[in-house]
Amino acid sequence: MLYNLETKEYYVVRAKAVVITTGGFGRLHIQGFPTTNHYGATADGVVMAYRAGVGLQDLDSTQYHPTGAIYPEQNVGLLITEKVRGLGAQLLNTEGEQFCFPLEPRDVESACVIRECMETGKGILTPTGRHGVWLDSPMIDMLHGEGTVRKELPAKYIQFKRYDIDISKVPMLIYPTLHYQNGGIRINEWAETTVKGLYSAGEVAGGVHGRNRLMGNSLLDVLVFGRRAGLRAAEYMKSVKTPAKLTLGHVDKFNKEIEKAGIDNGIETPLLLPNYAPDHVRARQIS
Ligand SMILES: Cc1cc2nc3c(=O)[nH]c(=O)nc-3n(C[C@H](O)[C@H](O)[C@H](O)COP(=O)(O)OP(=O)(O)OC[C@H]3O[C@@H](n4cnc5c(N)ncnc54)[C@H](O)[C@@H]3O)c2cc1C
């Protein structure tokens, strides 16, 4: 089913096979964390699959990347690549202590940072009232020679220089950021779901990496299972007749369920992107 933004009408597309590839759910900000994910990462595919009766798995398992920027405010949640630690930068607390071996897997590293900030009280309070620890990027130039940060990490250098912070001279402030959806739509090795004709691939599909993905292999999984889903969907389409007449009954059913649950979020049309407007601005939008 598609939605026409101009006419504000739904219309039904007769699809014999469907492949859901809507990506992760970082924009749900689980546990209130910032995220590295783009604004479209709102779990739509998981919800659609669930409502179609598809099995899901490991939805309680999310990956927090240990080094998300936490200052300045405009950078909050943005990814600071593992390459920074790979080049020799250390995580340090407010006393300058190295509290964690810097090349642990993401979950261990994230847990160390959270503990340092929330339990031992040795985190750093940022000027905007958030907690974080130092990632001492100047160490990279000390180890490998002046100019290495600019040469090896140009995107990160620019990302901070924009706010007059030179990360080759001063350390970054970081905190874990919601990065990857480990669980999702249950698929088999051919990207088939438990509903015939419905396939899924990429981050929205759960379980390919178990409950904890290692860095760097999501793009591999996207290609492998994307291809497999496409192949199987094409085969399936050749083997079935055009489906019977489709209806919008499921939209009515959804609306009735929302009403029965007493949910009135004031949203009249589908929301393409999350609304990040502060409460006082939203109040004006609604009135
Ligand atoms: C900053 C960052 C760096 C990363 N670096 C790496 C890396 O180095 N190596 C690695 O392996 N992995 C990396 N990852 C993870 C990897 O990039 C993602 O897991 C992967 O791109 C997911 O691909 P996808 O096609 O499943 O989803 P996406 O690339 O997220 O694409 C999903 C698309 O579906 C659209 N969509 C969502 N809902 C709807 C809807 N209702 N209707 C229509 N369209 C919709 C979205 O807008 C989006 O365009 C990184 C992730 C991030 C955020």
Give tens-digit pLDDT for 79-130: 999 999 999 999 999 999 999 988 889 999 999 999 999 999 999 999 999 9
Mutate to test the pocket of ligand 1, among 75, 219, 220, 272 (most ligand atoms within 8 A of CB): 219
Ranking 135-139, 166-170, 207-211 by mean pLDDT, the lowest is 207-211
Full domain range(s) for residue 209:
2-63+179-286
Say if residue 151 is in the same domain as residue 222.
no
Say if residue 58 is in the same domain as residue 186.
yes
C-alpha R_g of the chain? 22
CB 80 within 8 A of CB 69: yes
Distance 267 CA to ligand 1 centre (A): 26
Say if residue 130 is in the same domain as residue 192.
no
Say if residue 86 is in the same domain as residue 169.
yes
Dump pLDDT digits (tens) for 17-35. Answer: 999 999 999 999 999 999 9
Give, using CA atoms, the residue closest to atom 37 of ligand 1. Answer: 22
Say if residue 25 is in the same domain as residue 86.
no
Output the six-digit token pair for 86.
């790979």
Say if residue 76 is in the same domain as residue 205.
no
First to last CA, the chain: 30
CB 236 within 8 A of CB 3: no
Residue 266's pLDDT is 77
Which residue out of 27, 65, 213, 228 is catalytically annotated? Answer: 65
Determine if ligand 1 sits within 6 Å of the CB of residue 63. no
Say if residue 168 is in the same domain as residue 75.
yes
Give, using CA atoms, the residue closest to atom 14 of ligand 1. Answer: 218
The CATH number of the domain holding residue 267 is: 3.50.50.60
CB 94 within 8 A of CB 123: yes
Last residue of a domain, one of 127, 153, 178: 178
Q: Which has the closest alpha carbon to 45: 199, 246, 259?
A: 199
Distance 129 CA to ligand 1 centre (A): 30
Say if residue 49 is in the same domain as residue 189.
yes
Catalytic residue flag (residue 65): yes
Residue 3's pLDDT is 63
Say if residue 78 is in the same domain as residue 130.
yes
Output the six-digit token pair for 10.
């739904």
How many residues comprise the chain? 287
The CATH number of the domain holding residue 75 is: 3.90.700.10
Last residue of a domain, one of 178, 205, 223: 178
Domain count, the chain: 2
Determine if ligand 1 sits within 6 Å of the CB of residue 155. no
Say if residue 155 is in the same domain as residue 199.
no
Say if residue 121 is in the same domain as residue 164.
yes
Last residue of a domain, one of 117, 151, 178: 178
Cα–Cα dist 218/64, whole Å = 15
